């Protein structure tokens, strides 16, 4: 397949004032896709990185105990604190397990070393519980091993300038997230033919993602894409297509950061695919479908939201999709995201 420049990603570079810097995501090229059943994933090949150190992911930071994610008693806001000497990258859609309710973080953030406590906007992905679960701490979160599937992630994107803490007017979106979790649990159970809700908390999306019945089905998808990174070592991102329609795309400012994010991204894309699996044959995916999706918001005005002193989110959206750039204070774009609504 002939490589082609993704005009949509290139045009989003205009959102960052220093888009020609070496440490900014360059316009990627569409690589050879891999398809398994109803999921096709294209690699996005490109340069990036520069000399900047690659930040830890949230999952890595929690495993190393160099980040504290604390309960606030507010469903739509938590506090995060970098306890270490290295930057930490948090991506919108990261799920944190524990506290009074499992949450999904709804904005990207880069935490500087020894950051102090910083508020971060969240949504609840578990309905009803408001106390510690089992041996888990009620005032803190211990792990972040999964990300919310794209179909649910879109509902968590703040629609207004929310500031660094809880977004304004969250009641309706929170209801949509709860309803979306319930709908996805129902679809997964129907497609797999086994329950995916966990008795300790049947409404928890995180516990559903940990269920043995889902993991056994996911294993086949993970095996099919096991050599994805090895086949394209210069990949800085991916585009996921489910049932012939683009569901999500993410690109990063270095192959190293993408490689660290990839297990979570693949898991989330596979969960989406399983929940939407059909008996009908899926036609071959044309690259034109991908470029049309990425070009869709070219003429849509962008809105800017200050997430923290170091991070600004620049977002374009319409009734069918959302595109966003996570821009650092020096103008570097660390992450670009596309989601279908």
Q: What pLDDT score was predicted for residue 61?
A: 98
Output the pTM of the full model. 0.89
Dihedral sign for Cα atoms in the order 8, 14, 19, 24: negative
Rounded Cα distance between 323 and 12, Å, is 8
Of 321, 340, 332, residue with least CA distance to 110: 332
Please report which confidence band the pLDDT of residue 154 belongs to, taking 50, 70 and 90 as the band edges: confident
| Pairing mode, strands 67-74 and 140-143 | antiparallel
Q: What is the pLDDT of residues 44-95, one digit of tens each?
A: 998 655 556 899 999 999 999 999 999 999 999 999 999 999 999 999 999 9
Q: What pLDDT score was predicted for residue 52?
A: 65
Rounded Cα distance between 34 and 225, Å, is 7
Q: In whole numbers, what is the pLDDT of the chain averaged over residues?
A: 88
* Neighbouring residues of 165: CB distance < 8 A, sequence distance ≥ 6: 77, 119, 120, 121
Q: What is the pLDDT of residues 238-278, one digit of tens each?
A: 999 999 999 999 999 999 999 999 999 999 999 999 999 98
Of 274, 265, 268, 317, residue with least CA distance to 125: 268
- For the chain, the domains span 7-50+217-278+285-340, 56-175
């Amino acid at each position: 397949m002939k490589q082609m420049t993704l005009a949509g990603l290139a045009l989003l570079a205009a959102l960052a004032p220093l888009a020609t810097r070496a440490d900014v995501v360059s316009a990627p090229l569409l690589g050879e896709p891999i398809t398994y059943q109803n999921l096709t994933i294209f690699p996005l090949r490109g340069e990036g990185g520069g000399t900047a150190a690659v930040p830890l992911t949230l999952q890595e930071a929690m495993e190393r105990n160099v980040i504290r994610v604390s309960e606030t008693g507010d469903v739509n806001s938590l506090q995060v604190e970098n306890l270490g000497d290295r930057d930490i990258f948090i991506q919108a859609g990261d799920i944190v397990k524990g506290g009074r309710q499992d949450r999904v973080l709804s904005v990207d953030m880069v935490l500087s070393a020894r950051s102090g406590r910083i508020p971060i906007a969240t949504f609840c992905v578990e309905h009803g519980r408001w106390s510690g679960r089992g041996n888990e701490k009620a005032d803190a979160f211990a792990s972040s091993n999964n990300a919310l599937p794209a179909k649910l992630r879109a509902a968590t994107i703040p629609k207004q300038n929310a500031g660094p803490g809880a977004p304004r007017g969250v009641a309706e979106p929170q209801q949509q997230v709860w309803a979306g979790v319930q709908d996805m649990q129902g679809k997964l159970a129907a497609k797999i033919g086994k329950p995916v809700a966990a008795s300790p908390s049947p409404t928890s999306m995180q516990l559903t993602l940990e269920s043995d019945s889902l993991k056994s089905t996911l294993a086949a998808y993970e095996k099919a894409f096991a050599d994805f990174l090895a086949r394209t070592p210069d990949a800085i991102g991916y585009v996921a297509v489910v049932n012939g329609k683009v569901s999500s795309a993410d690109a990063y400012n270095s192959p190293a950061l993408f490689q660290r994010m990839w297990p979570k991204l693949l898991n989330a894309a596979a969960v989406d695919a399983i929940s939407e699996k059909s008996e009908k044959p899926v036609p071959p995916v044309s690259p034109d479908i991908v470029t049309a999706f990425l070009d869709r918001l070219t003429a849509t005005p962008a809105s800017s939201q200050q997430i923290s002193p170091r991070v600004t989110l620049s977002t374009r959206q319409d009734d069918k999709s959302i595109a966003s750039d996570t821009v650092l204070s020096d103008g570097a774009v660390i992450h670009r995201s596309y989601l279908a609504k």
